[in-house]
Amino acid sequence: MWTIIEKEFLDNLLNQRLQVAILVSVLLTIGCIMLQASDYSRRLEDYRLADASQEEFLDGFKAAEVNMMSPQGLIPPKPLSPLVNGLQSSPALSFDQNYLVKMFPVLDLLFIVSVIMSLMAVLFSHDAVCGERERGTLRLITSNAVARPKLILAKWLGGSSSILLPLVISCLVGMIYISVSPRMQLGVADWLEVLLILLASLAFISVFYLLGLLVSSLVRSSAAAVLISVLVWAVFIFVIPNLGPYLATRIEPVKTADEILTRVSRGGWNRFYDNLEKQRDLNTQRYVQEYGQIFSQCLNIDHDKRELLVGEQAPDLPVKRIWQKYSKEDYEIQDNLHRAYYAKLDKLMDQARLETAKQTRLARNFSAVSPFSDYLYLATEISGTGLESREYDSRQSSAYWSQVNEYRRKISKAVENASGNTGPDLSGRPRFDYKPQPLAERLKAVLPFGAALLFFNLLFFTGAFVGFLRYDVR
Amino acid sequence: MLTTLMKKEIQHNLYGFKFQVIMLLTLLLVFSSVYVMYNDYSQRTRAYEIQLPDIANTSSLLKPSPLAIFDRGLDMELCSLYETHRDFGILSISNQKDFSSELFRLFNTPDLFYVTWIILSLGALLFSFNLVTAEKEDGTLRQMLASSVARSKLVAGKWTGGLICLVLPFTLAFMVSVTAVSLAPDVQFGVQDYLRLALFLIASLLYLGFFFSLGLLVSAASRSSAAALSISLLLWVTLVFVLPGLGNIAAGKLVAVPSYNRYVVQVRQAEMAERRASSEYESSGKKKDFNLREHDPERDAQVSDYRVRLARLISLSRDLIRLTPAGAYAFLAGDLSNTGVQEMLNLQRSILAYRDFSLGLPRTPSGRVSGEYPAFTYQRLSPGHVLVNGGLLNFALLLLQTTVVFAASYVLFLRYDAR
């Protein structure tokens, strides 16, 4: 069997096509990694500058201006994003972004493996059986009492290892570049992630080699085999993954954020506003009844005159104290009702987020029928640029924002109580302390997709095995 | 003789396994993509209709384009809500981000444009990569040439016959899809839309013609079908994926633009500073006129500078990318569908012009606009405008590329060794 494996391996290796393919893959991989690394270091520097600039800007705020502070929790670029762009490369577009990057994304290792190397794998395996039959060598081999199971197994092992050579060489050269490049400083955990991505890539390419082998074991001519193999490849790489999310929206439609806001604002806001006005009126009536003219005179005058009577610079008369008490209660009514309204809105939005998560899971399950999607989810999650990581980062940003809001409320209260003093200094404001999601958690989320890749390997191998056992070698 | 050769090619293809597989795939993909994108369009239109009554007339909320069913392009971005806020007359531009599934961003939109751009171009190559080499390997090429069939007529017959077989299923599927969509209750196509669709079809046929011709060229330059296949696929990957991506990279090296993150931080700082300034203004009790343009001109300059550089980067990227057939086709299809780069640039210019116009309106001392606030209006670009501003150039580039490739295959075939 080792002889056959060696024969298959050398057949491919000495083939000019594979030599060209190795050269092209290595050059492309190096080129992509270099470009991406340069982009990564620019993004990292920009992140550091943006963070420093924000800190410096916020240092200039006084306690009385705390409600105008709206710091952003900045997420640094992921160290492995030069290899696997994932969601980093296509941020949700807004008014001021370069949308041509969305239309023509920059290539990364994920693309090279998933499109170019998988295509190579199909090209080199589509005539592994039918090609040999056409050349007449298959009949010779099988007539020499070589067991068919051993033959097909050796074809897979020998052939796929020759195809994996471009991947291994490209990744080795890429890793050498990364390790000597000052722009990318990877830690031990990062290198472990690189190794896991490499293993996932090996499993992925093997799937497509086996696909070619399967087709080859089922058809009689190479011409038909290549056509079927490449078309099935195209369906797996381009059709099924892209259709999955859209099918999911058909089955589990989700309201957009704008739709929810509009529905709530149309009905809910009017009701809220009416209720608010009613509560404020009741409170005002109560004060009029309790304090009579002394209070009413403040209500019925214009802002400037009222400022003279009850403003900060006005003398400390009973009317001022009554007005201040009224203002405080009026503010509390507004504040409480606002909070209740926005709590309701938040609840609707949370519900929509849950529905979106459900839709996402459904879409992922649909698209998992394609080995490309399984590999994409695995590779992006391992590198920290996938859906789960993004969700994790969003939760950190939301938690930080809640901390900032809490801090703002606390300081506002302190400023009120300070009455006339500048209030506390803001050096103790919350800082965003970003922590990436642990690898174990990310892997746990995408383990099923890794298992799916292994399943495809088994499925296609079994099909090729059975097909070859029954293959007419004449 | 030419007609005979064409007929022979057409018959040969029609009965061939290759044609049947590619035809089936074309029909399946075209119909399923139109079905999926029609549903997407319906959902987006429904969401638009729910929102519309409550949107201020100073904001931009475009109705989804029905042509986005065929090429969604940047329609999601075009149809985002861009609000111009009024805060003591200060205007800022934001857009409400959707929290719809991020999964969509990992994959491409499976619209008809994508199907043609990626899959059918591959299909066109597979259709033609062995037009010459297969006949040579079968021995029929030598026989035909020995019976004094002119090589020029032979290659022309192959090209024409093969191309007809390739584009017929696509054209048929496209016309059936357009008919079906135009009958849908929530789609109203006007005369201009039909014109756009006709031009979209022509652009798609030109694009497929390029890859068909490329396959013929490779076949005429190769000795074996296996070699022709490998070269064809390598060229396909390079022309569809690698070169257009390089266009963005090259432009990025030539035009320096600060990163988006840094820009967002600057804008937020500008907004915070403006809020502080207006708060100080309010509490100071000043009565003089509120001159908005005094608000931190340095930050305003930074924001303007970013936008100018970004526009320059996008323009240069576009000029480089359109030199590839995939790029020219992508821009052409998007612009014709009102979902492309031209439309996006035009909308951005309109929103910014409206903002600047509003800032220049006479205001009360407190900063509010005196009189009625003017509404924002926007009209999508006409086909004529699209063609004059780059559309014709993209058409010309596609035509030129196809012609050059066919001419090269013609010349190579004239010198082909049929033994």
Q: Nearest CA to CA, how far is A43 from chain B (Å)?
A: 7
Residue B213 lies in a domain: yes
CA neighbours closer than 13 Å in the CB half-sphere of residue A25: 30
Q: Six-digit token pair at B213? A: 């011709």
Residue B289 lies in a domain: no
Cβ contact, residue pair A54, B269, below 8 Å: yes
Q: Where is pLDDT greater, at A350 or B391? A: B391
Q: 385-424 in A: which are within 8 Å (CB) of B?
A: 387, 390-391
Is the model's pLDDT at B286 over the cut of 60? no
Separation of alpha carbons A328 and A336, rounded Å: 12
Q: Where is pLDDT greater, at A360 or B286? A: A360
Q: Does residue A290 sit at the B interface (CB-CB below 8 Å)?
A: no
Residue B270 lies in a domain: yes
- Lowest-pLDDT range, A371-375, B95-99, B247-251? B95-99
Contact B317, B248 (CB under 8 A): yes
Q: Which of A18, A28, A95 is the best substitution to test chain B (most B C-beta atoms within 10 A)?
A: A95
How many interface pairs between A and B have CB atoms less than 8 angstroms apart? 229
Cβ contact, residue pair B122, A249, below 8 Å: no
Q: Where is pLDDT greater, at B89 or B248? A: B248
Note the pLDDT of residue A451. 94
Q: Where is pLDDT greater, at A427 or B407? A: B407
Note the pLDDT of residue B414. 86
Minimum-distance CB partner of A254 among B53, B100, B123: B100
Note the pLDDT of residue B41. 92
Minimum Cα–Cα distance from B287: chain A residue: A304
Q: From chain B, pick out residues whose CB is under 8 angstroms from the CB of A20.
A: 230, 234
pTM over 0.90: no
pLDDT tens digits, one per residue of A44-53:
888 888 888 8
Q: What is the count of structural domains for chain B?
A: 1
CB neighbour list of residue A281: distance below 8 Å, 6 or more residues apart: none
- Lowest-pLDDT range, A115-129, A330-344, B115-129? A330-344
Minimum Cα–Cα distance from A222: chain B residue: B226
Q: Which of A258, A261, A304, A374 is the best substitution to test chain B (most B C-beta atoms within 10 A)?
A: A258
Query: What mean pLDDT is predicted for residues A109-137?
Result: 88
Minimum-distance CB partner of A115 among B95, B99, B241: B241
pLDDT tens digits, one per residue of A389-422:
888 988 898 899 888 888 888 888 887 776 655 5
- ipTM here: 0.82
Name which of B324, B246, B234 is nearest A25 in CA terms.
Answer: B234
Separation of alpha carbons B236 and B117, rounded Å: 11
Q: From chain A, pick out residues whose CB is under 8 angstroms from the CB of B95.
A: 94-95
Q: What is the DSSP letter of A91?
A: P
Query: What mean pLDDT is predicted for residues B177-192?
Result: 92
Q: Nearest CA to CA, how far is A402 from chain B (Å)?
A: 18
Residue B367 lies in a domain: no
Cβ contact, residue pair A231, B104, below 8 Å: no
Note the pLDDT of residue B293. 44
Is the model's pLDDT at B89 over the cut of 50? no
Q: Six-digit token pair at A222? A: 């190479």
Phi-psi region of B93 (alpha: psi -120 to 50; beta: other; left: phi over 0): beta
Minimum-distance CB partner of A123 among B17, B130, B233: B233
Name which of A301, A303, A299 is nearest A291 in CA terms.
Answer: A299
Cβ contact, residue pair A72, B51, below 8 Å: no
Query: What mean pLDDT is predicted for residues B168-183?
Result: 93
What kind and span of H or E run contains B82? strand B82-84
Q: What is the DSSP letter of B63?
A: P
Q: 197-226 in A: which are within 8 Å (CB) of B?
A: 222-224, 226
Q: Where is pLDDT greater, at A37 or B301? A: A37
Q: 343-362 in A: which are within 8 Å (CB) of B?
A: 349, 352-353, 356, 359-360
Note the pLDDT of residue A297. 79
Contact B81, B59 (CB under 8 A): yes
pLDDT tens digits, one per residue of A131-157:
888 888 888 777 877 788 888 888 888
Q: From chain A, pick out residues whose CB is under 8 angstroms from the CB of B110.
A: 239, 242-243, 246
Q: Band the pLDDT of A466: cuts 50, 70, 90.
A: very high
pLDDT tens digits, one per residue of A306-340:
777 777 778 888 888 888 888 888 888 888 888 88
Residue B93 lies in a domain: yes
DSSP string covering A351-373: HHHHHHHHHHHHHHHHHTTSHHH
Minimum Cα–Cα distance from A127: chain B residue: B226
Separation of alpha carbons A26 and A175, rounded Å: 12
Residue B157 lies in a domain: yes
Beta bridge partners of B83: B94
Name which of B53, B58, B54, B52 is nearest B369 in CA terms.
Answer: B58
Is the model's pLDDT at B287 over the cut of 50? no
Q: How far is CA B204 from the centre of its chain?
A: 12
Minimum-distance CB partner of B77 among A99, A228, A231: A99
Cβ contact, residue pair A68, B279, below 8 Å: yes
Q: From chain A, pick out residues whose CB is under 8 angstroms from the CB of B230.
A: 17, 20-21, 123
- Lowest-pLDDT range, B25-34, B102-111, B154-163, B346-355? B102-111
Domain with B226 in it? 2-284+294-362+372-414
Query: What mean pLDDT is predicted for residues B188-195?
Result: 92
Residue B57 lies in a domain: yes
Question: Chain-wide mean pLDDT for chain A?
Answer: 83
Is the model's pLDDT at B289 over the cut of 70? no
Is the model's pLDDT at B294 over the cut of 50? no
Q: From chain B, pick out residues whose CB is under 8 angstroms from the CB of A46.
A: 258-259, 261-262
Phi first, then psi: what are they for B60, rounded to 5°?
-110, 115
Is the model's pLDDT at A124 over the cut of 80? yes
Q: Where is pLDDT greater, at B210 or A31? A: B210
At which residue do the structure tokens 């890749």 appear? A453
Residue A461, SS3 per DSSP: helix
Is the model's pLDDT at A259 over the cut of 70? no
Contact A100, B77 (CB under 8 A): no
- A230, A235, A237, A242: CA torsion to nearest 10: 160
Is the model's pLDDT at B80 over the cut of 70? yes
- Lowest-pLDDT range, A169-178, B158-167, B189-198, B236-245? A169-178
